[in-house]
Structure formats: C-alpha cells, structure tokens
Amino acid sequence: MDKTAIQKIIDILQKEYDISGYSNRGNAYEVLVGTVLSQRTKDEVTWPRNKELMKKANTPEKMLELSEKEIAKIIYPVGFYNQKAKKIKELSRILVEKYGGKVPRGREELMRLPGVGGKTADCVLCFAFNEGVIPVDVHVEVIAKRLGIADWKDKPEVVRKKLHQFVPKDKRNSINALFVEHGKRVCTTRRAYCERCSVVKYCPKIMKK
C-alpha cells in the first residue's frame, strides 16, 4: 500500500457511498452527545434518538433542566440508557461550569469529559469542527489493517497514528465515514467480501483475516 493507492481508494469509495449524513449531524454539542449515545449502539438507533433529545435540549444549559430519568426515557432504547443519561448530565454540567456552555476544540480537554474517549473526541473534531482527524472505530481499524496500513497487533491509538501519517490532512475527514460504509457492506468485521469489493485492485490482501 502506498499513498497513491490510498488516494485511489478514497476516490472510488467517495463515488460509491453517500456520506453527506455524517457531516450533517449537527453542531459540536449535538455530535458530542450523539457520539456518547452511539457507544455500543447501532447508528440507526442512536441518531433518531439523539434528534429527539435535541428537540428537548440542544444546549448544555437546557440539558441541565432535564432529569436523568427524563433523558433516559427520551434516549431509550439506546444501549446503557441509564448510565448514558447520567454521563450526558455530567458532561453538560462541566461544559456550563468550565467552558461557558461551549464544547472545547482540544482532544485532551474533550477526553477529560465523562464518557468521552479518543474515538468520541475524534468524532467531534472530525464531524463538528472539520479538524482533519480520523476517528478509529472497529470498521476503520479492521479495514486499515486489511489494507496493510496498520498491523494486526496495533491498538486503536496506533492505528490512528499510522492512518494520520498515511492520509493527508485535507482527506482525513472522509475516511471514517467511507470505511464505516464499506465495513458495513463489503469489508465486514466478520468477513471480507473481496469478490465484490470496488477497491480490490489496490488492496494488498496480505493481512486479511
């Protein structure tokens, strides 16, 4: 895999998948809360519930007016809805008290919020702030490894670092969405359907599981 090949792969996947929905998930607060909700929950469940929640409280200040019970009721059936309701209240309180109700743009600051790890912080930076970072979820991780960009033993933070070295900053914002779409349909975590893969020509296929 070389840098020209990754560019070809991006071009092909961009023609194949409509990823406009990923950048239309709302402002930084909406993306932050929605990404916390999305942990261990399918997108199809997460984002409609997040939309309903945002109708009631689309700022940290308004969220603090809701009880944890009310939040849990709105986000149900998102997985771990009670724990997530608690985290959303806590992080909203910190945003109000420490950041004047705004979502910080720094990865380290984001990662200090309850329920926010590296992937969630990167989703906010990528989809809300257009910062040119690549959130590494399971699809991104598996595809990066099958493409030979990362090694099978690499942890997500190492995969992220290698992807960032490999993909130019102005192309990074689309990688997560493209790999997630490809990972749901073709290069799935359980099996790689190489026989119907549009980028097979550029895939080294040396690390496939």
Of 147, 144, 126, give the one whose Cα is nearest residue 135: 126
- As separate numbers, helices (DSSP H) first and strands (DSSP E) second, the chain gives 12, 0
38 burial level (CB within 10 Å; 0-12, 13-18, 19+): buried
Q: Are 26 and 34 in contact (CB under 8 A)?
A: yes
Give the C-alpha distances (Å, rounded to integers) separating 14 from 32, 68, 70, 191.
25, 40, 40, 22
Q: Closer to ligand SF4 at the Cβ: 27 or 189? A: 189
Q: Does 178 bind ligand SF4 (CB under 6 A)?
A: no
For residue 200, state whether it binds ligand SF4 (rule: CB under 6 A): yes
Q: Which of 6, 91, 95, 187 binds ligand SF4 (CB under 6 A)?
A: 187
Of positions 32, 133, 178, 197, contacts ligand SF4 by CB under 6 A? 197
- Indicate the residue among 10 and 72 with the shorter CB distance to ligand SF4: 10
The least distance separating ligand SF4 from the CB of residue 189, rounded to whole angstroms, comes to: 11
C-beta separation of 178 from 139 below 8 A: no
* Interaction mask 144-163, ligand SF4, x per CB under 6 A: --x-----------------
Contacts with ligand SF4 by CB under 6 A lie at 143, 146, 186-187, 192-194, 197, 199-200, 203, 205, 208
